[in-house]
Structure 1
Amino acid sequence: MNKILIAALISLSVGAGTAWWIEGMRWDTDVADLKLNHTTAMKAISDKALADTETHISTMKAFQKRLAELDKQHSEDLANAQAENNRMRDDVIAGTRRVRIATANLATCQLTKSEDSTTGSVGDGTTVELSQAAGRNILDIRSGIINDQAKLRYLQDYARSIQQKN
């Protein structure tokens, strides 16, 4: 009877060991499948994030390029306007140019006609000629206005480009 009991215990032990080994292999397969699924999901997430990042970077580069173009355009416009204003200011200082202001009738907001219009004149409004110092001051004020308008145009274009980006 001992032999049968020993044989039964050995058979039971071998069966339990085999079952344990088979179950371990099944668990290893399940864990490998879970790792593969996890790796695949993480790669998909990473690829999506990379694509989104590249899209965002290209959008930002296009936006920065547009802003650089705006900046260049407005800087050139401002430099040209300032150069023209400086040229006129230098001409006023040198005496080759004078600053005149057209007079207007304040009651009607119409230019007044010259009292001494000649037949060759078209009868435009009279003008008041300013001194050199006053002319320089007017051109300095004009320069400030040009700067302010250029800044305003730049900021408006910047705001428009931000709005178009979104």
Structure 2
Amino acid sequence: MSAWLKQYKLFAAGAAVLVLMALSAAIAWQWQANSYGALLAEQGRAHETQLRLTAEANAAVILKQQTDRLVLETRLTTLDTNSTEKLTHAQTENDRLRREYSAADDERRRLRIEVKVARADAIVSAATGAGSLGDATSVELSAAAGSAVWDIRGGMISDREKLVYLQEWARAVRAGE
């Protein structure tokens, strides 16, 4: 019986070793799982913190952009109002002059333009004969041409004011960037 008892003890010792190894593996597995779980939880918290900081930074940038946009829109609105007023005033003045011109008698309705000929033109004019214009000569426009002058002047005023407006608008937008 002693051989059987030795085998039994050996078998029991082997079983005990296997149970201890299994128990050790289970404990190591649990410890490692807890360790990785803690590491993952820490990484999750760090990730959430980074996301929150990024969102706050983005919100600050968006708020600044909205404020800058509002300031720019206010400047452009003021510019638009001022330019429109200037253009309206200039067109009103042109219309007043046109009415004054239309209401004038025939003598005053004639438009005379004083012409100064450049030196090179004077040489050409002298060569063309007696019909040429000299320095400080007055040229009289026909009634139709005189009337067209007011249309031309109105277009020039409008174009000039629009050009000034667009240049100021471009400067305002560029300054707002």
* TM-score, length of structure 2 as denominator length: 0.71
Equivalent-residue separation in structure 1 for 2:25 and 2:116 (angstroms)? 116
Change in 2 beyond 3 A, CA 1:158/1:72: same
Is structure 2 residue 61 aligned with structure 1 residue 52? yes
Which range is displaced more, 84-93 or 14-23?
A: 84-93
Letter in 1 for 2:151: D
Indicate the structure (1 or 2) with the bigger Cα radius of gyration: 2
Q: Is the 8 A contact 1:93 1:132 kept in 2?
A: no
Q: CA offset at residue 107 of structure 1?
A: 6.8
Q: CA offset at residue 142 of structure 1?
A: 0.9
Q: Which residue of 2 aligns with 1:149?
A: 160
Equivalent-residue separation in structure 1 for 2:80 and 2:166 (angstroms)? 10
**Cα RMSD (Å) of the superposition?**
2.6
Equivalent-residue separation in structure 1 for 2:80 and 2:62 (angstroms)? 26
Letter in 2 for 1:45: T
* TM-score, length of structure 1 as denominator length: 0.76
Q: CA offset at residue 88 of structure 1?
A: 2.0
Q: Which residue of 2 aligns with 1:140?
A: 151
Is structure 2 residue 84 aligned with structure 1 residue 75? yes
Letter in 2 for 1:39: E
Q: CA offset at residue 74 of structure 1?
A: 0.6
Q: CA offset at residue 63 of structure 1?
A: 1.3
Q: CA offset at residue 14 of structure 1?
A: 1.4
Q: Is the 8 A contact 1:103 1:126 kept in 2?
A: yes
Q: CA offset at residue 93 of structure 1?
A: 2.3
Equivalent-residue separation in structure 1 for 2:43 and 2:113 (angstroms)? 87
Q: Is the 8 A contact 1:98 1:129 kept in 2?
A: no
Identity %: 31
Ranges in structure 2 where 5+ consecutive residues have no aligned partner: 1-8, 120-135
Equivalent residues, number: 150
Q: Which residue of 2 aligns with 1:160?
A: 171
Equivalent-residue separation in structure 2 for 1:49 and 1:3 (angstroms)? 67
Ranges in structure 1 where 5+ consecutive residues have no aligned partner: 109-124
Equivalent-residue separation in structure 1 for 2:155 and 2:118 (angstroms)? 30
Equivalent-residue separation in structure 2 for 1:56 and 1:29 (angstroms)? 40
Q: Which structure is richer in relative contact order (CA contacts within 8 A, separation 6 or more)? A: 2
Q: CA offset at residue 128 of structure 1?
A: 7.1
Letter in 1 for 2:162: K
**If each structure's helix is expressed as a fraction of its own residues, which one has the higher value?**
2
